[in-house]
Structure 1
Amino acid sequence: MGVKILTSTRKIYVTRKLPEDIEARLAKHFDVRSWDEEDKPVPRETLLEEIKDVDGLFCMITETIDEEVLQAGKRLKVVANMAVGHNNIDVETATANGITVTNTPDVLTETTADLAFALLMASARRLVETSDTLQKGEWGAWSPMQFTGQDVFGQTLGIVGLGRIGEAVVKRAKGFDMDVLYYSRTRKKDKESELDIAYAELDRLLEKADFVMLLLPYSSESHHLIGQRELALMKENAILINASRGGIIDEDALYQALANDEIWGAGLDVYEQEPVPTDHPLLTLSNVTAVPHIGSASVKTRRAMADLAVDNLIQVLDEKEAVTPVNLLK
């Protein structure tokens, strides 16, 4: 149950149901087995069994590809992750075992930037909260200060992590005449004049920004980068947007800051535990706009991500260089 067989030659395991044409493309090159439950991650025991005799793995961020999984894959040559991030994969162990790890960067930049800025606007203008109020029949009469939110136009946006997605968000922010501050581990002076942005150390950015947007990769260094101390630096009317990875925010500290009106609101696409438990404290707050990790969720982009993952599998198993490798093997 839950596993189906496709077609011939070298063996691939796919951890989630893909569009039929993507499956057909894989089947032209490989003997493909896949987990066919669209909305449920493959059980770990199934993954550990299936990995034993495959040459390639097509996986999602929902799978933990750790040392145990990699060691079980005796024939494994490539792990193609359908995501930009790869903190779900033990890249060090993969490298030590001669396994190429690939990801799907670039193709989701604009789509994720759209979502990040949409989350900013929805949080500022309380779109989800007020839509729910209307649909529940709880809207009475119009009143002068009812449902008031925060302005976006002309405000200051602080971006933490100025990668490709950060740069794409800057272009959207400039359409709203926003002043943009950025912080990254490496200052990008060439981008400052090009994009009309200013560098600020993290503490200063938190103090000055009306909106703080997190767009940096998750790592041990960025774990809980935003905690109680950092939240206390933010303005009382500030909004925190996270469109990167959940572990970058200390969610307990964020709950306290929001519940005690230390900051005005938050827009969240990612969480420390996914799927988010329905009893998660943050979901009880009206000043939280929460969506289920949909940063790259457009039809065009998800298909492009899947195609790029297939390209990587074909290249590596044809003994050619991966299109978008995460690690470099000797």
Structure 2
Amino acid sequence: MSEKIVVTNRIHSEVRARLEQLGHVVVNPSIEPWSQSVLSEQLKDATAMMGFMTDCVDEKLLKQAPSLKIVACALKGFDNYDIPACTARGIWVSIVPDLLTEPTAELAVGLGISLGRFILQGDHLMRTTAFKGWRAQLFGQGLHNSVVAILGLGMVGQAIAQRLSGFGCKHLLGVDPLNTMAGVISCNLEEALTTADYVFVAIPLTDSSINMLNHEQLVYCKPGQLMINVGRGSVVNEQAVADALEQGRLAGYAADVFACEDWGLENRPHQIEPRLLAHPNTVLTPHLGSAVSAVRLAIEHRAADNIIAALRGEVPPDAMNQDAMSVSAV
């Protein structure tokens, strides 16, 4: 039987050609995501789906997809995909666990440097005034001899620490109850916030991490602290960050992730906190963590590997629910 494979975002022609060897491939041609109603219509007779961060797969959607065998996520964070609901229907769920790590860590360090050294302000100054040479202005802070805290020492957090090790930081602190790393001093969240010059947030979104950095926690911020978020938007309370910036408790905030992107949360905001957009000491990028051409191609190929395996009756190499599927098959 010819398969129908639904791909919810544009993909490279190489990847499409591989999938077309299995059957009919339907690809969203636009950079804008499909609505849930359009996605539901496309999945009615689909056997496989390649999903992206802008998608939300829940029980309601799955009821409209009776033939679905696999949801292959072309991403690492899967909080907007209901894995138990998929498992209950015998549907594989796979992710791409490792390819996003290095480019996300690179971007995190870049955001930190941009924030600390007033790169955006300097660029704006060059474009709006006549440059007459050096002036005593825009004095920021560097990573050298700074205390840097990393919240979350998973793959991304460890990759950030590895890159920072070459900058001559005074201390690297790590906040993670499950993971430790050589050369990184373990501490709790309050200790990190009260002592660090830079705080890098690399925490995935879970029930326990939602709004982890809220008004109550941000009162501990060391004066002049810079915060960089490349984990998940809703780990940080954006209103609390805006308040901390306005009150001078935070000197700057950089982010590549935002609460409005966390599709799996029913009460997510539908826009970025306006005060973050307006504040002069913020650096905000449109989720560019994995936006490296070679990396994106590799991610798509990896998601395709999982689809091909599932449609051949094999266990997808990156299946998140293999143990649960094995139990349900007994």
TM-score of the superposed pair, with normalisation by structure 2: 0.92
Uncovered stretches (5+) of structure 1, i.e. residues with no partner: 1-7
Shift, 1:99, TM fit: 1.0
User: Which of residues 285, 290, 295 in structure 2 aligns to 1:301?
Assistant: 295
Distance in 1, Cα, partners of 2:117 & 2:25: 47
2:58 is the counterpart of 1:66? yes
Structure-2 change in CA distance of 1:90 and 1:21 (3 Å) = same
What are the Cα deviations for residues 229-274 of structure 1, in whole angstroms up to 9, with x where unaligned?
2211111111011001100000001001011211110111010114
* SS in structure 2 at match of 1:217: coil
The corresponding residue for 1:5 is none
Partner of residue 211, structure 2: 224
What is the CA deviation profile of residues 128-179 of structure 1, one whole-angstrom value per residue up to 9, with x for unaligned ones?
A: 22212222237677432x1111121121110111011111111111101112
Q: Does 1:265 align with 2:252?
A: yes
SS at match of 1:13: strand
Counterpart check, 1:34 vs 2:21: no
Paired position in structure 2 for 1:165 = 156
Distance 1:257 1:138, change over 3 A: farther
1:9-63 deviations in whole A, cap 9, x for unaligned? 21110101111121111111231112111x2101221101111111111110101
**Structure 1: distance between partners of 2:151 and 2:260:** 22
- SS of residue paired to 1:47: helix
Q: Within the alignment, does 1:323 sit opposite 2:317 as a pair? A: yes
- Total equivalences in the alignment: 316
Mapped to 2, the partners of 1:138 and 1:215 lie a distance apart of 40
The AA in structure 2 aligned to 1:110 is E
| Matched residue type, 2:289 | G
Sort the Cα spacing of 1:278 and 1:212 in 2 relative to 1 into closer, same or farther, 3 A: closer
Match of 1:273, SS?
helix
Q: 1:18 aligns with which of 1, 7, 11?
A: 11
2:176 counterpart of 1:184: yes
Does structure 1 conserve the Cα–Cα contact (< 8 Å) formed by 2:75 and 2:95?
Answer: yes
Distance 1:314 1:215 in 2: 31
- TM-superposed deviation, 1:278: 7.4
Structure-1 separation of matches of 2:23 and 2:124 = 47
The AA in structure 2 aligned to 1:80 is A
Match of 1:313 in 2: 307
Q: Which amino acid aligns with 1:169?
A: I
For the residue of structure 2 that corresponds to 1:326, the secondary structure is coil
Unaligned runs of 5+ in 2: 263-269
2:276 aligns with 282
Distance 1:100 1:138 in 2: 59
Structure 1, residues 71-90: CA drift from partner, whole Å, max 9, x if none? 21101111011110001111
Return the letter of the residue paired with 2:145.
G
1 CA distance for matches of 2:178 and 2:257? 24
1:254 maps onto 2:241 in alignment:
yes
CA displacement 1:181-211 (0-9 Å, x = unmatched): 10113143xx33xxx1110011111111111
CA contact (8 A) 1:158 1:182 kept: yes
- Which residues of 2 match residues 70-219 of structure 1 at below 5 A? 70-137=62-129, 142-144=134-136, 146-178=137-169, 179-188=171-180, 191-192=181-182, 196-219=183-206
Structure 1's consecutive aligned runs of 4 or more residues displaced over 3 angstroms after TM superposition are: 138-143, 274-279
Q: Matches of 1:292 and 1:74 in 2, distance apart?
A: 35
In 1, distance between residues paired with 2:116 and 2:144?
11
| Separation (CA, whole Å) in 2 of partners of 1:69 and 1:133 | 49
Q: CA RMSD in A?
A: 1.7
Decide whether the 8 Å contact of 2:260 with 2:272 is kept in 1.
no
1:200-225 alpha-carbon deviations (Å, 9 max, x no partner): 01111111111111111111110000
Contact 1:187–1:199 (CA under 8 A) maintained in structure 2: no
Give me the identity figure in percent: 29
Report the residue type matching 2:96 in the other structure: T
Q: Secondary structure at the match of 1:159?
A: strand
Letter in 2 for 1:322: P
2:267 alignment partner in structure 1:
none
Matched letter for residue 158 of structure 2: E
